[in-house]
Structure 1
Amino acid sequence: MQRRTFLASIGAAAVAIALPPAPAQAKAHARGACTYTWKNAVVNGGGFVPGIVFNETEPNLIYARTDIGGCYRWQEGSRTWKPLLDWVGRDKWGYSGVVSMATDPVETNRVYAAVGTYTIDWDPNNGAVLYSDDKGDTWGIAELPFKQGGNMPGRGMGERLVVNPANNAELYLGTPSGNGLWRSLNYGRTWARVEEFPNAGNFVVDASNPVLADNQGVIWIDFDQIGGKIYVGVADPDDPLYVSEDGGATWQAVPGAAEALGTADGNRTIPTQSAVDNTNGYLYVVTSHDPGPYNGAPASGDGGRIQRLATQTGEWTDVTPSYNPRGVIPGFGGITVDRQNPGTLMAATRNNWWPDEILYRSTDSGQTWSLSWDYAEGQNRTDRFVMDNSGSPWLSWNGEDQGPAYAVKHGWMIDAFAIDPHNSDRIMWGTGATIWGTEELTKWDAQGELVGEDEAGQRVALPIEKFTVGVRAQGVEETASLDLAALGGALVSAVGDVGGFVHTNLDRAETMINTGWSTGTSVDFAQFNPDIIVGTGNVHGNEKGHVGVSTDRGRTWRNASRVEGVPGDGHGGTVAITADASVIVWSPNNTEVTPVYSTDLGETWNLVQGLPAGAKVRSDRVNQSVLYSFSGGTFYRSTDGGATFTDTGATGLPTAGVEDFRAVPGHKNHVWLAGRGDTEKDIAGGMWRSKDGGATWKPIVEFDTAESVGFGKAAKLSGYPAIYTSAEMNGKAAIYRSTDGGITWVRINDDDHQWAWSGSAITGDPWIYGRVYLTTNGRGIVYGDIAD
């Protein structure tokens, strides 16, 4: 393909839960393998979006990357995002962590993603650069000889991956862990280290902590298109910036960079992001004392600066905003330049935390700045825009405004921050939970100042016409979901970081379950009275109980009483409720806390007898007095409503690696268990079933391993419930279904729908034959229906 230069080239709607299909239709579908359609239960966001990249030459071509949930392409017609990495399978699950993206400004169909989730051994595979010639619809893979950190500290810095606009076959990649600067000369197909580049970085956050001990390395690459220079930011406070003036053949440290970028009020800092104004000849560099995304202010002084380098003269100017309503600036996250209006740029604070982040805007190349909000009349706050969270109502976090600390915030961890290069009115920014945006940005400049002084010299709010900022995360489903319960007409979920949801319409984002969970870990409902739902999750502090209870099908919730001796941080564990709702059993995720049971919906608790701490618990779906538990290779059963458990004496189960077990609706004493084999005990297989309450077990030999098991509407009247599992068969990890009680199994997903890892929970729908819901680690709550 002929190489072209930059200059030469210038000029699914989800289905709401419905009534069950007719038995004849269900029977027809049950005869063999069938095709599925896959969608998300809508949450809109739910995780960290560390990068948003606009193509510089094609309008409306926008990409977003997430730390564990893949990457997305914007669809202007529907104003939604399309997921691009659902094809990633369990064997390469780390490819769902996207550390950087690059969109080609010359051949705009080309896009690239640097992938790999951890630089430590949590991810067994090395990283890669994915390359696409069709805007991400299909991908090739260039494997790398080192790991990358899409979910490591510093993942919001960059972009580490870039296309050279003067020679779009050439790409550069900045790497962590001392691996230096890498380059491809053939559209990302092969890569080699740039041996001439002299500095691989040396900055670590905390050498004593394995997660924080990694060298942050080479952080970003940017291009001065006026002088043809290439700039590279490095995590080294003593030598933080390098430049090449001969197309990458040689590299020199930029004079004055250490003084400008390596210190801030006595703190050692690194250049975390950059932005170029190729009209006025400026390189803007943001510095921070920490790579983020979680850092707060340093022990003393400001945590970062905004420095401006005149690329033609080499002059450095500190253009840091001089004013922050809360005092010390903890550091800066994203920075962006308006390419339609040179001299206009914006920057975001990083982890200003209380009462909110601050967005700064300058229209004079950083000489003066205006703020997104300010104090007037003491602690009263005045704002330039209104935050509309109707696209994701849960973004209020079930809170209320408390003075200047609004329930709906600008966000936090704002590293992704980009003005549309084709439209000065559009900006998007990513946070730890969503994407915000507006198409009214230039109204900011007509507003003037937010505050002034009255006759007595007191600060007062000035009248301005506010514009609206709204959710722009539609289609970005990034939650890590941990457990599911399908009631029929409602889907209840336990979700990492955002607690959980009750969906009565899968096509609508809901408010979160109001229990104060930082992470939901387990949910259950009373089989004979599904209006009664219980859940548990991690909580902070010791004010609220971990267990939540709803008696109106999830519309309202209350926290059960706290259990003395259970620490407040974490420890959600598992929870079960008997089929008649008479007993709740809760097993905290704590190796020193005995499970407890309640006969009054969590008002009071009693110690369970016979169970070890941390044992998983489930209820029989028919027998009202029976519950089950598993721990360390031993299967337990209670016949007195959870007061006491005894070892069933079962043999042939693994001592470890059991991920899930569930009781079967409509079948007393039927239990299925999913896990892995046990080489020490010579136990093969990954799934077992019991028809006698866990006393004896039969292995399902088709599976090598299984992560989860669940049940849904039977294929025919009076038939055994459909069984669903996320499991591995003949070396292929996939979603499988059985309609004949586990005698035969068919795969129901395909290679385009694998979601990296989808193991912690799976369940069918009790009303709709064939519908299955499954959890993922970063791609939200996925559900599938048999295709018409």
Structure 2
Amino acid sequence: MNKNIAHVWTPASLGGGGYITGLIQHPAISGIVYARCDVAGVFRSSDGGETWETLNGGLTKAYHHQVQSFAISPHHPEVLFRCSGEVRSRKFYGSVHKSADGGHSWREVCTGMGFYGNGPTRMYGEVIAADPHHPDIIAAGGYTGGFWISRDEGETWRRTGLPEERFGCVAFHPSVPGVLYAGTISDDDLNMDYVEVGEGGVLGLLQDQPRGRSGKLYVSSDLGESWELLQEGASFAELSFDSLDDQHLLAATIWGGIRSSTDGGRTWASTEEGLLPGRQRYGTVVQDCHHTERWYTAPDLRPHMKECPPIPLYVSCDGGGHWQLLHPHSDEDLSGFPAYMDHFSGGSRAAATGWAISKIIVDRFSKDRLYLCNWYGVAISEDGGKSWRANHFRGLETTCMEAVIADTVQPGKFCVTMADHPPKITEDGGQTFRNLPGLDGYSGSTAAVMSGTDSKHYLYGLVRHGRTACIARSRDGGDSAAAVLSLGPGLFVQALREDRGNPGTFYAYVDGEMAAGAGIYRSRDGGESWEQTSFRPPSHLATLPHQKKWIEAELLSVVVYQVKNACGANQLLDTDYNQAGHLMLGEWTEGIWRSEDSGDTWQSIGTGLPFQYSSPSSVLNAVAFSPTHAGTLYAGFISEGLWRSGDNGQSWSKLFPAGEGERFNVSALAVGKGNSGKDLLILACEPMVRTGTEARVVCSRDGGLSWEEWENLSLGAPRWKGIAVDCAGGQVLAVSCGNGAFRISAVTDRDKQQQG
């Protein structure tokens, strides 16, 4: 296959992002700050947190972006480490990567530990640490696999004698050489996070197993050669050391509050006076290096928690003995926070800013400058925490993008949908974006369609808290919107399409329980009113998709216990370019159907396609009509690649990849009109543990006769979810789950000739 290095991905202005779970600052350069993320890898800011760029070059597996911990060498600041991993089918995967160039490129140095980058301990302390006294010593504790030491700056690793427990924090003593601490997290404290978890309890939900009924704190005085158990009971999430007294430590303990030790960690006392009453989950505590009497902490508040301050940031001015709320924040104390945060918090941006605070750090170079990170991004304070600004989390503001479509009329115009955000529109090929309006109570978007005859007409699916959904419509270019079809619990708008031969007629693919209303809906009046069509899948299908829980929670989701509408988003429904009323839909494991009368009757056309015949992972993920050849259809599969029919689905043959046994996930499919009269095909493959695949994007300009591969190694291993081609403008926009949006120009033969 041709490797086309002429086509280089450029980041669109929608960056990656997710839950920002940790922060570290460069030890010598004031403006450089690093952030870790549960789904998007590592970010760097070179301007003190104002803007961010991703640092994932050289990564090859999806879980390499799911970072549980990271560290920077205080001796060689260009050297960084990251710990990443996930669980699938109760098996944990994990890697330690090292960078020798400030994070621009990474290489794997250890696979002995499993990590849970998007798991229940992601928001706690660092489990990898560099020794401040010995440049060659690095220590790390896994979620699984025990505790490991490197004595050659991370090149080789050896397991120590500590048992295989769930490590929550690892720290070298900053002023006592040779002393190393390791804290663990108990099964019981994880159980406190989940009220209703169903069969198997919390560990079954997390695909975990018992690792200890109590948390523990260990210490080694010989850099990991031998260990002593100091404490048993509380789960230790972070340790902080007093710069004035080397025997004084504070600890953030999960559900156990903030605790203080004056004898190097052998005994501990609770320091709860002034903090929120009741059991709260704490994951961070830090000393102010400029005002050494000050310490900061924040409980990990969530939306359901009532009677709590909007931003629960607490300060102690006596070494952690007594605490008080730092400031009674209101929206007036905030600037540069995105408007979409209002939809999560009943209109209070301050309340959203205080959700799920995972880390607080004090700028070592600038007095009264603080950083905090949480569910949304990184915020900065210049006045000791009284006011905060976010610069709209530029570069890490988005999370899991799920779909992208190109406007059929206006070059450079695309619409992107994503979890936790309303749709976003770009009219300049991805250089800038604006929001379509969300609706109160709805937090994310799943599918969208732009009218082919009215540039101001949009229909899109929204998801509400409590897992209900609706179709929203805007007729004024996005100035306002209203719900036109409200759906019951558990239903999602999987895809939306306009009848290409009959403008104003729209179709919606709704997934979920069949008995609750899942199926294909139709509107003949521009989306104003909707009716369910006659499509009925085989009687043994109780849900769409048939294996919904397995596909969304195990095969494709970025976290096993969080089911999202992340499979086939906006790709399993299409309408014919050549004939009005002709449409096609696919079901993940059971087949493809075609209608020639706007959905009144349906015919099965999936015979011969690889529905799970080789493995459970062979799942349909995209269908499309050819824009240039009547009767030509495409079907894209996870694992089994792209298939084509030239006779309206009566027979099928595999188009890509051609190699025997070669696997390719058609996670995203774009079909357009090439300049040679043949179809332009672009396929994006997301990396998956189950299929053993890596991230790839391939393109054919001649209907599949020949293929070229577009380089994306510098992007790491993006979880591609959607790709769209604007043939008139010669542009491609691709979106990923957590890793951002990327664009490429000049994709057609004519554009290449003009470039030459």
Q: Which TM-score band (shorter chain)?
A: 0.7 to 0.9
| Residue 441 (structure 1) aligned to one of 383, 388, 406 | 383
Equivalent in the alignment of 1:642: 599
Equivalent in the alignment of 1:491: 414
Counterpart Cα distance in 1 of 2:525 and 2:156: 64
Alignment map for 1:670-709 (pairs within 5 Å): 670-676=632-638, 686-703=641-658, 704-709=663-668
Contact map agreement 2:67 2:117 (CA 8 A) in 1: yes
Letter paired with 2:333: V
Contact map agreement 2:417 2:445 (CA 8 A) in 1: yes
Contact map agreement 1:157 1:220 (CA 8 A) in 2: no
- The alignment covers a number of residue pairs equal to 662
* Residues 1:36 and 2:7 are matched in the alignment: yes
Q: Normalising by the residue count of structure 2, what TM-score does the alignment of the two structures yield? A: 0.79
* Residues 1:743 and 2:743 are matched in the alignment: no
* Residues 1:396 and 2:342 are matched in the alignment: yes
Unaligned residue ranges in structure 2 (runs of 5+): 187-212, 538-542, 546-571, 613-617, 747-751
Letter paired with 1:84: L
Counterpart Cα distance in 2 of 1:245 and 1:38: 49
Equivalent in the alignment of 1:337: 287
Counterpart Cα distance in 1 of 2:3 and 2:127: 47
The Cα offsets for residues 423-464 of structure 1, whole Å up to 9 and x where unpaired, read as 2332222211221112x133x5xxxxxxxxxxxxxxxxxxxx
Q: State the Cα distance separating 1:101 from its structure 2 match.
A: 0.5
The Cα offsets for residues 706-761 of structure 1, whole Å up to 9 and x where unpaired, read as 41454476553x74453211149998752111222222211122422343431x32
Counterpart Cα distance in 1 of 2:437 and 2:666: 26
Stretch deviating more after TM superposition (552-561 or 776-785): 552-561
SS in 2 for 1:95: helix
* Residues 1:571 and 2:473 are matched in the alignment: no
Alignment map for 1:340-739 (pairs within 5 Å): 340-353=290-303, 354=306, 356-374=310-328, 383=330, 386-390=333-337, 392-397=338-343, 401=347, 405-406=348-349, 409-438=352-381, 440-442=382-384, 467-471=387-391, 473-476=393-396, 479-487=399-407, 488-504=411-427, 506-508=430-432, 510-511=434-435, 513-515=437-439, 516-541=441-466, 545-563=469-487, 567-569=488-490, 571-579=492-500, 580-592=503-515, 593-595=517-519, 596-612=521-537, 614=544, 616-631=572-587, 632-648=589-605, 650-652=607-609, 654=611, 656-665=618-627, 668-676=630-638, 686-703=641-658, 704-711=663-670, 714=673, 716=675, 719-720=677-678, 722-727=680-685, 733-739=695-701
Counterpart Cα distance in 2 of 1:384 and 1:600: 42
SS in 1 for 2:117: coil
Change (3 A) 1:34 1:511: same
Q: State the Cα distance separating 1:65 from its structure 2 match.
A: 0.8
| Residue 253 (structure 1) aligned to one of 201, 212, 229 | 229
Counterpart Cα distance in 2 of 1:694 and 1:561: 32
Counterpart Cα distance in 1 of 2:406 and 2:389: 34
SS in 2 for 1:659: strand
SS in 2 for 1:87: coil
* Residues 1:781 and 2:723 are matched in the alignment: no
Contact map agreement 1:537 1:570 (CA 8 A) in 2: no
Unaligned residue ranges in structure 1 (runs of 5+): 1-30, 202-215, 263-268, 290-303, 375-381, 445-465, 678-684
Contact map agreement 1:481 1:494 (CA 8 A) in 2: yes
Counterpart Cα distance in 1 of 2:295 and 2:633: 60
Counterpart Cα distance in 2 of 1:470 and 1:78: 8
Q: State the Cα distance separating 1:395 from its structure 2 match.
A: 2.8
SS in 1 for 2:739: coil
Change (3 A) 1:548 1:155: same
Equivalent in the alignment of 1:93: 62
The Cα offsets for residues 173-227 of structure 1, whole Å up to 9 and x where unpaired, read as 11223x32211111111111111x4x544xxxxxxxxxxxxxx345332414147
Change (3 A) 1:633 1:316: closer
Counterpart Cα distance in 1 of 2:75 and 2:469: 56
| Residue 156 (structure 1) aligned to one of 114, 123, 136 | 123
Contact map agreement 2:20 2:377 (CA 8 A) in 1: yes
Contact map agreement 2:50 2:394 (CA 8 A) in 1: yes
Change (3 A) 1:114 1:585: closer
The Cα offsets for residues 587-632 of structure 1, whole Å up to 9 and x where unpaired, read as 3233544413232344443332133262742222443312111234
Letter paired with 2:416: S
Change (3 A) 1:638 1:553: farther
Equivalent in the alignment of 2:185: 235
* Residues 1:320 and 2:320 are matched in the alignment: no
Letter paired with 2:504: A
Letter paired with 2:645: S
Q: State the Cα distance separating 1:774 from its structure 2 match.
A: 1.8
Contact map agreement 1:724 1:772 (CA 8 A) in 2: no
The Cα offsets for residues 21-55 of structure 1, whole Å up to 9 and x where unpaired, read as xxxxxxxxxx9945123233334565101111123
Q: State the Cα distance separating 1:549 from its structure 2 match.
A: 2.3
Answer with 1 or 2: which has the greater Rg: 1
* Residues 1:306 and 2:252 are matched in the alignment: no
The Cα offsets for residues 72-91 of structure 1, whole Å up to 9 and x where unpaired, read as 222228942221114323xx
Counterpart Cα distance in 2 of 1:313 and 1:599: 70
SS in 2 for 1:395: helix
Letter paired with 2:241: V
SS in 2 for 1:117: strand
Letter paired with 1:694: G
Change (3 A) 1:754 1:59: closer
Counterpart Cα distance in 1 of 2:74 and 2:273: 32
Contact map agreement 1:437 1:470 (CA 8 A) in 2: yes
| Residue 283 (structure 1) aligned to one of 233, 249, 256 | 249
Contact map agreement 1:98 1:115 (CA 8 A) in 2: yes
Contact map agreement 2:71 2:128 (CA 8 A) in 1: yes
Stretch deviating more after TM superposition (569-578 or 132-141): 569-578
Stretch deviating more after TM superposition (525-534 or 655-664): 525-534
Contact map agreement 2:275 2:314 (CA 8 A) in 1: no
Counterpart Cα distance in 2 of 1:711 and 1:762: 6
Letter paired with 1:514: G
The Cα offsets for residues 307-361 of structure 1, whole Å up to 9 and x where unpaired, read as 122246966443324244xx54522232222223222221111125345340112
Contact map agreement 1:94 1:756 (CA 8 A) in 2: no
Q: State the Cα distance separating 1:384 from its structure 2 match.
A: 9.8
Counterpart Cα distance in 2 of 1:187 and 1:98: 20
Change (3 A) 1:547 1:315: same
Counterpart Cα distance in 2 of 1:44 and 1:34: 23
Q: State the Cα distance separating 1:470 from its structure 2 match.
A: 2.3
Contact map agreement 1:540 1:569 (CA 8 A) in 2: no
Counterpart Cα distance in 2 of 1:158 and 1:133: 23
Change (3 A) 1:650 1:739: same
Counterpart Cα distance in 1 of 2:50 and 2:64: 26
Change (3 A) 1:701 1:111: closer
Stretch deviating more after TM superposition (307-316 or 636-645): 307-316
Change (3 A) 1:200 1:740: closer
Contact map agreement 1:502 1:513 (CA 8 A) in 2: no
* Residues 1:64 and 2:35 are matched in the alignment: yes
Change (3 A) 1:63 1:367: same
